[in-house]
Amino acid sequence: MLNKFNISQGKPKLIVYIVLTLVTLAVYWQVNQFDFINFDDNNYVTENAHVQSGLTLNGVRWALGTRYAETWTPLLWLSFMLDNQLYGLNAGGYHLTNLILHILSSLLLFWLFNRMTSEIWKSAFVAALFALHPFHVESVAWVTERKDVLSAFFWMLTLCLYVYYTEKPAIKRYLLILFGFVLALMSKPMVVTLPVVMILLDYWPLKRFESKKGNLILWQLKEKIPLFVLSAIFFTVLVTSPEPEWKHFPFFLRLFNGLVSFVTYLGKTFWPNNLAVFYPFTAHIPLWHVLGAALLILVISVAVIVMAKRLPYLFVGWMWFTMVIFPVSGIIFQIWLCAMADRYHYLPSIGLTIMMAWGIPLLFPNEEIRKKILFPMGILFIAILSFITWKQCGYWKNSNTLFSHALKVTKNNFLAHGNYASALYQEGKIDEALYHYNKAIQLKPDDEDDKIYNSRGAIYYMKNQYQLAMDDYNKALSLNAACYRAYNNRGIVYANLGRYQLAIEDFNKAILFKPDFSDAYSNRAFIYYKQGNKFLCCTNAKKACEYGKCEIWKATVGEGFCR
């Protein structure tokens, strides 16, 4: 093949690195023009005071000690702080950081398999599918999912260090493995399965099992115990989150959903259609879906186990996919209210691409036919996927395009209705926003998310329907007594009704739960201004200005009230 394309033996690897980088950049470059979205980006970046302070000593302390968002991911927070230091709140910079990490992971993946197998083009195929599959757009194009691309980078780096160690075992090299694994875990605890992947690679392609036939178990225990201890520690942290979602779902329902979702991941790997930011969890799963999924998984698993000695790459690829996706399958514990997620396919997918890269050539035993058919077919396949990825990436431009697309490709998607409504509200399309808020609540009347009621209340307020607004704010506060925005908004309604004391009490509660909430200080200052209380008005107006909202301060200073 190399002679056919007139490529010398020393150049193919460099060509792969360059082409893989350039194509991935071309497909994803549009992200530098994308906005933040209204799904977690606010919690992680745009409204996170610690991140917005940049990379400071206090910020580092917070990152190392917090379990904000229910997991311990200090490297994630430090990376966001560094981005803020470089880009402020320019969303394009955060997106480009995600893209750079994704490209580096893809290049490391190519190095890893080429180093282990010396199969340049098969390794390139594995790396290209990882870099350019539409299923991976969510992990790259969503700022909040920095945890995916950051942990993947350290995952790949740790495996590369592991291969380096296996070539010449030494304590210094082993310590590098441990260090890389800790960094991966500090980025996203879901990488706890990495030691299992190392064992799989020991079987194939490293073939270390063949040289350790006498003491396989003892050898693996001695070598992998420190890694499994780290996994156990971080997994314990993961499953002991403050309010684990799995408590809300029976085990058998989680099992049924996990089986069906597993097969759905398989299907979308080969036919990546109707991809969405959120797939609602449903309690109504047809029994034949469950039985069909279980049968397919069983048949494939038995087949790869039977052929493990003859075709070890099929066994390793299937076990890689199965083991790595298991923690996010929802079977052990349900992750929020989603049935599955595109981002969960990110690292597990490598197992399937191994099966494809080494398994498909078996269908073409003739070497000449492989050269004439497989190479151009592989390029065509990757080109088609790249186009689909480019198109899928475009949906992540902003909240409006993302959630309007989700509503087109999914059914009964309460979250998509709610977030689309928020995007419409920001554009001033309040009637359309109200429709989608109503749909979200209709689809999930037991919604425990106070934000949707608070947001709908804001629309009723804009339409001068104060009682309906008040009802929604009260509902939001009944769901979350710490909903500072609902206190602030209800205070505004009280102020408009002339009930100033109740308004001040609500602004006080809003500030109690969020001491840097500039809107509440500003609103409280306005009430004191109306009451002629110069000291309290000016104190609150100045405080509001310190936290970013200076309108009242400038107005009162301008007219001499606060001079």
Omega into 205 within 30° of 0, i.e. cis?
Answer: yes
Instruction: Give how far the C-alpha of residue 474 lies from the chain's centroid of Cα atoms, to the nearest Å.
Output: 32
Q: Based on the domain organization, do 358 and 471 belong to the same domain?
A: no
Domain boundary among 510, 525, 543: 510
Structure letter (DSSP) for residue 339: E
Mean of the per-residue pLDDT values for the chain?
91
What crossing angle do the helices spanning 551-558 and 518-530 adopt, rounded to 10°? 30
Give the CATH number of the domain where residue 499 resides: 1.25.40.10
The predicted pLDDT at position 241 comes to 52
Give pLDDT tens digits for 239-281.
555 444 545 678 899 999 999 999 999 999 999 999 999 999 9
Cβ–Cβ < 8 Å for 330, 257: yes
Q: Based on the domain organization, do 310 and 380 belong to the same domain?
A: yes
Task: Say how many domains are in the chain.
Answer: 3
The predicted pLDDT at position 7 comes to 46
Overall average pLDDT of the 455-463 stretch: 94
Q: Based on the domain organization, do 221 and 186 belong to the same domain?
A: yes
369, 374, 377, 382: CA torsion to nearest 10? -170
Q: Based on the domain organization, do 203 and 221 belong to the same domain?
A: yes
Residues 6+ positions from 293 with CB-CB distance below 8 Å = 259, 260, 262, 263
Q: Based on the domain organization, do 291 and 235 belong to the same domain?
A: yes
Confidence of residue 71 (pLDDT cuts 50, 70, 90): confident
Overall pTM > 0.95: no
Give pLDDT tens digits for 420-433.
999 999 999 999 99
Q: Based on the domain organization, do 342 and 447 belong to the same domain?
A: no
Confidence of residue 553 (pLDDT cuts 50, 70, 90): confident
Q: Report the candidate in 101, 203, 116 with the shortest Cα–Cα distance to residue 154.
A: 101
Q: Based on the domain organization, do 17 and 137 belong to the same domain?
A: yes
The predicted pLDDT at position 168 comes to 94
Residues 6+ positions from 112 with CB-CB distance below 8 Å = 123, 156, 159, 160, 163
Q: Based on the domain organization, do 276 and 369 belong to the same domain?
A: yes
Does residue 208 form part of some domain? yes
Give pLDDT tens digits for 302-327.
999 999 999 999 999 999 999 999 98
Domain boundary among 365, 397, 429: 397
Does residue 407 form part of some domain? no
Confidence of residue 435 (pLDDT cuts 50, 70, 90): very high
Q: Based on the domain organization, do 359 and 479 belong to the same domain?
A: no
Q: Based on the domain organization, do 496 and 362 belong to the same domain?
A: no
Higher pLDDT, 42 or 366: 42
Q: Based on the domain organization, do 163 and 240 belong to the same domain?
A: yes
CA dist 333 and 244 (Å) reads 7
Which domain range does residue 468 map to?
Answer: 412-510
